[in-house]
Each structure stands twice: as structure tokens, then as C-alpha cells.
Amino acid sequence: MVGVIGLGYVGLPLATAFAEAGFPVLGFDTDPSKVEALRAGRCYIRHLDAGRLAALVADGRLEPTTDLDRLGEPDALLLCVPTPLTPQREPDLSFVRSTAEAVARRLRPGQLVILESTTYPGTTEEVLRPALEAGGLAAEEDFLLAYSPEREDPGNPVHSTRSTPKVVGGMGAASRDAAVALYETIVPRVVAVSSPFLVEATTPTENIFRAVNIALVNELKLVFDRMGIDVWEVLDAAATKPFGFMRFDPGPGWGGHCIPVDPFYLSWKAREHGQTARFVELAGEVNVQMPEHVVGKVLRALNDRGKPVRGSRVLVLGLAYKKNVDDPRESPAFEVIDRLLGLGARVSYHDPFIPKAPAMRTWPELPAMESVALTAETLQGADAVVLITDHEGVDYALVAEHAPLVIDTRGVYREARANVVKA
Ligand SMILES: NC(=O)c1ccc[n+]([C@@H]2O[C@H](COP(=O)([O-])OP(=O)(O)OC[C@H]3O[C@@H](n4cnc5c(N)ncnc54)[C@H](O)[C@@H]3O)[C@@H](O)[C@H]2O)c1
């Protein structure tokens, strides 16, 4: 039996993959509303196949539970709990620690424990191992311990949990081999490396690569904007080079639970070794200033039309951090909304996948908001539409036809239009 702890964006697809591979799966989550939803056949993550999931639950192949006393039942336990940053942008391992303590109390000989959460090099050895061994059993001798982080790309139409190779590092050969054998049942390729430590360095490398490249195109956007050059036209042209160039697109900032978070796990750990991860810090500096740039564009465009931002009606189009997902975590939309509200604008939003703006840990003061319908009337009633997320299926022709002003942060409108400002 496989146990998955944390049934979120990572844990739920993983639990599904193991259930479909024929394992009985026990899915643990401390949030009773998630467990109730799954038991009732409802899926709270839009891009997952709700029908498939409901069938697995109905057949008893995937059993969701809040009962941590059952942690001793599965042969393998996969920890998929959050690893956020503190308000001071330092690693917050409280979820990993509390989960490890809960597991340690029920750990039995022979169990395989695998950490899937993204973290800094050293977590498995320095944090997880002692917490688990506090129960009296020894890693590699009595129980098995490995690290293998998820490489989930929510909404990716090509790559899923089941098609993406997994990298695995074990506390010793027995742990490594057990983890490899387990993952080989659900993914096409498992790459075993020398230690958990090495895998813990691999994931930040993958995420920093993205963070830095996103910062690079965002900075180029600022530079080209000043020079009157359309960055999207430049990227379309550059992307015709068949080698030595990989396209990244600029936007209103960065978002999601990985890219704006994980790189800082490594830079924090690097400081302990007297080293500064300058590219990480620089990527952060560039990306976090993008919402301010967007708001500046809104101010200037309204000003050009003789309108002050105070009292203007601004419709934010898209709350999710990227297109076609319902995940608003770390979305730059919230900072744009917060700043516009602070300037006295009357802000509403439309997101087809997020009917109600959830309460955000980092934006506790934002008022409760619900997605408004995207109609000719709503668009005509707005002084400005700020396009933050380029979801497919949104009628962008309707937007351009009826909105008096559109601030486009995603390059949706390639042709020049009098009422569209690229930001
Ligand atoms: N979202 C991604 O695409 C992605 C990709 C790669 C890696 N990761 C990493 O995977 C980890 C999980 O991310 P996520 O996006 O799935 O988070 P998430 O917030 O969607 O899910 C985490 C779940 O864990 C539950 N939880 C919290 N504490 C718990 C506990 N003590 N016991 C049981 N359940 C608990 C929460 O209720 C939540 O449902 C993070 O470390 C993240 O960095 C995420």
C-alpha cells in the first residue's frame, strides 16, 4: 500500500498515478474540506481528470483520510506537503517537520519514507532523518528513507506526472533501490543519483534556471519598452534560431508555488556556507518589480486619456499565476490589485477558473472579491482592463472591441491597436 501525505497539486496526481498502477492508496490531508470533497467524488484541482479520480475513490482504490493514526498502514509514505517562505523570505519547513513528527510516532520497521517537497540541500539528512529517528528506529537499517521531488507542471498538455522522469537519492543503497522500484511502476524513467543531498541540489537548479530566464526576458521587456521595441516581436524572431536559444516569455511578474519560492531555499542555505547566490537574488529583484511596472503603465495610460486612477474602474483579467490553471498562489495579480486599490481605483476581476478570490496568506488585507462576467457591458463599464493571465478560451476579440483601454502584460495582442497598451 502507498500512502501520500498532502493531497495538493503534487500529492493528488501522484496518488492517482499509484492507484492507477494497481496499488491501494491511502491519501492523507489535514484539510478536512479536501478529504470530504474527494470522498464526495469532487476534484478541487481543475486540470486533473475529475471523472477518473472519482472512479478511483468510488472503487476504494484511493482512500482519502484525515486520520494520521493510519500512517503506519502503508508500506511507502510520500510526503507532499508545502514548503513556503516565511515573511522574511526564509525557508518555512514547519509542514515538513510536523509531518515527520506525525510519521515518527507511527513508523514501523520496513516502511519506506520519501520526501517529495521541494527544499534545500541537506533537508533529508539534517531535518527529516533526525525527526523520524526520534521514534527509535534507524534510517536505512530499520526503515528506508529517500528524496525524490515532484516535477509537476500543472496544466502542461504534454508532460504529466506519469510521463516525467524522476530523480531519486536514497539514504543508502537499500533506500535508493526501494524508491527506484516504487517509482518505476508509474514513470517511464527513474534516475538514481548518489544521495538525497544531490537531488536536493538538482531541483533548485531546475527552478533557478526558470527564475533567471523569466527575469532576463522581463528585464529585456523593460529595456525594449523604453526603446519603443516590441519585445514579443523580438522573441518571435529570436525563436526562429534552431539552436542556442530557448524561448521564455515576459509577463506581469512571476508566480506559483515553485519558481518564486524554491530558489530562495538555495540562496538561504548558500549563506550558511558564506556564499551569495547572486543570480537568484537578482532574478528576485527583477521579477518582483514587474507588478509595479504594470501599475505604472496603467497610471500613464489613464493619464493620457485625461483620467486619474483614483475613482477609475479597473478590471483585472486573470487571477491565476499562469494560463489555464486555477492556482492563484504567488500570482502577481494580487500585488497589482493591492496597488491599484491603494491608489483609489475601483477594482474588479474576471477569471474563468477562479470564481471567488481565495484569502491569500501574503495579502490578508485584500477585500473579498468574486469574478465578474466578461460581457460587452462589463468591458464598456471599465476605464481600463489589465490583462494579467492569458487563459485560453477567453474572448480576447470581445475584450479589444469593447474595453476603452487594455493593458496587455502577456503579448496577447500582437497587432497595434489604439486602445491596447503593451506592458
Ligand atoms: N505545485 C507544483 O507544481 C509543484 C511542483 C514541484 C514541486 N512542488 C513542491 O511540492 C510540495 C507540495 O506542493 P503543492 O503545490 O502540492 O502544495 P499544496 O498546497 O497544493 O498541497 C499541499 C497539501 O498538503 C496538505 N498538508 C499540509 N500539512 C499537512 C500535514 N501535516 N499532513 C497532511 N497534509 C498536510 C495541505 O492541506 C495541502 O492540501 C512543495 O514543496 C512544492 O514546492 C510543487
Give me the tens of pLDDT residue by residue for the chain, a chain 423 residues long: 999 999 999 999 999 999 999 999 999 999 999 999 999 999 999 888 999 999 999 999 999 999 999 999 999 999 999 999 998 889 999 999 999 999 999 999 999 999 999 999 999 999 999 999 998 999 999 999 999 998 878 888 889 878 899 999 999 999 999 999 999 999 999 999 999 999 999 999 999 999 999 999 999 999 999 999 999 999 999 999 999 999 999 999 999 989 999 999 999 999 999 999 999 999 999 999 999 999 999 999 999 999 999 999 999 999 999 999 999 999 999 999 999 999 999 999 999 999 999 988 778 889 999 999 999 999 999 999 999 999 999 999 999 999 999 999 999 999 999 999 999
Residue whose grid cell is 495579502: 363
Is 43 considered catalytic here?
no
Distances (CA, A) of 20 to 92, 123, 153, 167, 203: 33, 30, 20, 21, 26
Atom of ligand 1 nearest to the CA of 151: 6
**Residue 31 near ligand 1, beta carbon < 6 Å:** yes
- How far away, in angstroms, is 22 Cα from ligand 1 center? 23
Mutate to test the pocket of ligand 1, among 33, 48, 71, 81 (most ligand atoms within 8 A of CB): 81
Q: Give the whole-angstrom CA distance, residue 271 versus residue 319.
A: 34
For residue 34, which atom of ligand 1 is closest to its CA?
39
- Angle separating helix axes 32-39 and 50-58, nearest 10 degrees: 80
The residue among 137, 93, 138 whose CA lies nearest residue 115 is 93
Q: Is residue 150 a contact partner of residue 4, using CB atoms and an 8 Å limit?
A: no
Q: How far is the CA of 85 from the centre of ligand 1 (A)?
A: 13
Short-list 195, 193, 204, 192, CA closest to 120: 204
pLDDT at 403: 98
Task: Answer whether 384's CB lies under 8 Å from 349's CB.
Answer: no
| Ligand 1 touching residue 67 (CB < 6 A) | no
Can you give the pLDDT at residue 7? 98
Compute the CA torsion angle 372, 373, 376, 380 (nearest 10 deg).
Answer: 0
Residue nearest to atom 4 of ligand 1 (CA): 152
Residue nearest to atom 33 of ligand 1 (CA): 29
Tell how far the Cα of 315 is from the centroid of ligand 1, in angstroms: 31
Predicted local distance difference test score (pLDDT) of residue 46: 86
Query: Is 100 within 8 Å of 126 (Cβ atoms)?
Result: no
8 CA to centre of ligand 1 in angstroms? 5
Beta-bridged to residue 348, according to DSSP, are 315
**CB-neighbour burial class of residue 288 (10 A; exposed 0-12, middle 13-18, buried 19+):** middle
Place of cell 530523480: 167
* pLDDT score, position 359: 87
Whether the CB-CB separation of 90 and 56 falls below 8 Å is answered with no
CA-proximal residue: ligand 1, atom 2 (nearest): 152
pLDDT at position 136: 95
Of 14, 79, 80, the one to substitute when testing ligand 1's pocket (max ligand atoms within 8 A of C-beta) is: 80
Question: Does the beta carbon of 389 sit less than 6 angstroms from any atom of ligand 1?
Answer: no
Q: Is the pTM of this model over 0.85?
A: yes
The ligand 1 atom at the shortest distance from the C-alpha of residue 81 is 24
Nearest C-alpha to atom 18 of ligand 1 is from which residue?
Answer: 8
Q: What is the DSSP letter of 125?
A: I
Q: What is the pLDDT of residue 90?
A: 93
Question: Ligand 1 centroid to 11 CA: how many Å?
Answer: 7
DSSP count for the chain of H helices, then E strands: 15, 13
Tell me if 34 CB under 6 Å of ligand 1: yes
Which atom from ligand 1 is nearest to the alpha carbon of 258? 43
Q: Residue of the nearest CA to atom 7 in ligand 1?
A: 150
Q: Which of 14, 93, 258, 400 is catalytic?
A: 258
In sequence order, the 6+-apart residues with CB closer than 8 A to the CB of 418 are none
Task: Give Cα 403 to chain centroid, integer Å.
Answer: 31
| Ligand 1 midpoint to CA 7 (Å) | 7
The finding on whether 353 has its CB within 6 A of some atom of ligand 1 is no
Question: Hey, which of 9, 14, 68, 159 would you mutate to test ligand 1's pocket, going by the most ligand atoms within 8 Å of its Cβ?
Answer: 9
